[in-house]
Amino acid sequence: MDAIELLQHDHRRVEQLFRDHRAAASVTQRRAVVELTVRELSRHAAVEEMALYPPARKVLADGPRRIEECLSDDMAVKKLLLALDRLPPGDDREGELMTQLRREFEEHVREQEGELLPELRARLTPQHLAELGRRIDRARRGAPTRPHPNAPDHPPALTVLGPVAAAYDRFRDRLQGRPST
């Protein structure tokens, strides 16, 4: 898959997680879906910051300003993810936080799939999109699985600290028995 197809696939997977959360029959099921949502969206945000935004900043019309807006929007998502990640199972705030997160994510998808990704497809060759897809796939394997709203979101600091955060997150995930996807 090329870069755009990979990111759209991520979007569909997270949309399914929101549906799964609404359909969950127990506190345990809902918490498992929350943990998967935190993991998938944390990885998605990190992948965009590491692999998508740097080339987009260069090739999009008004790229630097547009990517700064994306990063600002991503920060709201990271803060919601952090709040969800810290909640104990069965906390009454979970439903409202998931609703807020779903709204933020839906806006992210509208902006990306309606504007950013089509413009990238128009400005990059199929070969560039395929190579970007490979970079995104590699970045996903080494991306953090938890939100880090205070971490740098620009290279080169992101490139250096992202893998360190990812290793720490995976260690914590194993200790807490969280699922690996």
Q: What is the pLDDT of residues 103-154, one digit of tens each?
A: 999 999 999 999 999 999 999 999 999 999 999 999 888 888 877 766 655 5
In words, the CATH class of domain 3-176 is: mainly alpha
Distance, CA of 4 to chain centre: 14
What mean pLDDT, rounded, does the chain reach? 88
Question: Per this entry, what is the length of the chain?
Answer: 181
Least confident of 10-14, 46-50, 172-176: 172-176
What residue spans define the domains of the chain? Answer: 3-176
For residue 159, CA distances in Å to 74, 140, 152 come to 17, 13, 9
What is the pLDDT at residue 162? 59
> Percent of the chain beyond pLDDT 90?
72
Residue 84: name the closest of 44, 39, 124 by CA: 39
Contact criterion met (CB below 8 Å) for 106 and 100: no
Q: Residue-wise over 46-55: b if at least 16 C-beta within 10 A, else e? A: bbbbbbbbbb
pTM: predicted TM-score of the whole model, two decimal places: 0.84
